[in-house]
Amino acid sequence: MPASSSLLHQRLAAELARREAAGTRRRLPAPPAPGLVDFSSNDYLGLSRHPRVLAAGQQAAQLPAGSTGSRLLTGNSQAAEALETQLAHFHGAEAALLFNSGYAANLGFFGAVPRRGDTILYDEASHASVKDGIRATPATAWSFRHNDLADLEHKATRATGAVFVAVEALYSMDGDVAPLPELAALCQRLGLHLVVDEAHTNGLYGPRGEGLVAALGLENAVFARILTFGKALGSQGAAVAGSALLRDYLLNFSRPFIYTTALPPVTVASLAAAYALLPDLQTAREQLFQLSDYLKATLNAVPGLHVPAGSHVIHPVFFTQNPGPAAVRALAAAAQTAGFDVRPIVAPTVPAGTERLRLIVHSFNTEAEIDALASELLAVSC
């Protein structure tokens, strides 16, 4: 190994050691043991295993394994274009453009649409993919306090150029929702362009699972929606939904769309099947929201634990006395040993001092599972 590589390795090792010392070093966890009760995956409706989704994927397995190129070269297909039409129709948008992940869609939107002289105002709790997209653009970007419309309005008065407001419909770490009707009204009044990440609401909100924007009838009040498929759709990929002009612009200027191999046929087929199922899953969605309320009430009855009143579907479990990252990890490990797939969320994913367990409720969980988890957390946290 050249001496320069060994110096570089020393630097990498020193940075890892710093994280180790701070208790923030990341490691790949063991794959979930079979049979654990799922309180962690994003597979909210169990669609990753739904027979019709699996059957669609199996049929597509006769096709090439890969898409063989960028959508702009050999990777385009009738199936991908048909899926985009299906998505636009389903979500009440003029058009939609597929991306390979929600990460790529946020990077692709924010890296391409806001230009120099424009301003992005983003909720401070925004996902890393929004923040990374913002880093890829020369536009000015300021965060505003979480869900704080007064702070947003104050910052908007100093903004220049086209002004974008980036929010999540439901925030991934705290499970709270954005005040979308108020945000839409503010954006309309001040001429701002609202961009809503529906990663955790797509498939779950609205009578057919169209997402929170459509459920609130705000389709025409948003400039763009980021719809991801790795969560309630049980698959992979994402789309930006908006005007036909926006779609055309993105496919010309969005580097994460242009310079990558398109989604494989099997994923496109599974997504079309999952979308076709969504309207029929209203009972599953109602069950999910009922269980979500049940989990909140049950865990809030456990001494020493606190689940915020405003969380939905995703529930952060805080401790009356913060035990620190190592203890939160140990607690999750104990719950896993007892048969529950429960994960710790620690810094740097969330600010130090706000370490928590994060519980995700699925339509296939049961009240008995929630009761058993609460008993286990009571036993191990005392």
Ligand X SMILES: Cc1ncc(COP(=O)(O)O)c(C=O)c1O
Tell me, yes or no, if 127 is annotated catalytic: yes
Judged by CB under 6 A, the stretch of 47-55, 97-105, 113-121, 341-349 that binds ligand X is 97-105
Within 103-122, the residues that bind ligand X by CB under 6 A are 103, 106
Binds ligand X (CB under 6 A): choice among 101, 143, 235, 270: 101
Q: Closest residue (Cβ) to ligand X?
A: 102
Closest CA relative to residue 244, chosen from 93, 143, 52: 93
CB 230 within 8 A of CB 101: yes
Within 128-167, the residues that bind ligand X by CB under 6 A are 129
Write down the least CB distance from residue 168 to ligand X, Å: 5
Indicate the helix (H) or strand (E) that contains 327: helix 325-337
Write down the least CB distance from residue 321 to ligand X, Å: 28
Tell me, yes or no, if 231 is annotated catalytic: yes
CB 143 within 8 A of CB 122: yes
Q: Of these residues, 84, 118, 123, 168, which one is catalytic?
A: 168
CB 264 within 8 A of CB 100: no
Within 236-255, the residues that bind ligand X by CB under 6 A are 238
Within 192-231, the residues that bind ligand X by CB under 6 A are 197, 199, 228, 230
CA within 13 Å, CB half, 338: 18
Write down the least CB distance from residue 59 to ligand X, Å: 24
Tell me, yes or no, if 296 is annotated catalytic: no
Structure tokens at 52: 């019709």
User: Which of 275/305 has CB closer to ligand X?
Assistant: 275
Judged by CB under 6 A, the stretch of 83-91, 100-108, 290-298, 369-377 that binds ligand X is 100-108
Give 360's contacts (C-beta < 8 A, 6+ positions apart).
38, 39, 40, 41, 42, 44, 313, 314, 315
Question: Exposed (0-12), middle (13-18) or buried (19+): which is 335, by Cβ within 10 Å?
Answer: buried
CB 269 within 8 A of CB 57: yes
Structure tokens at 228: 């991801």
User: Which of 229/298 has CB closer to ligand X?
Assistant: 229
Residues engaged in binding ligand X (CB under 6 A): 101-103, 106, 127, 129, 168, 172, 197, 199, 228, 230, 238
Give the residue numbers annotated as catalytic, written as ranges. Answer: 42, 127, 168, 172, 197, 200, 231
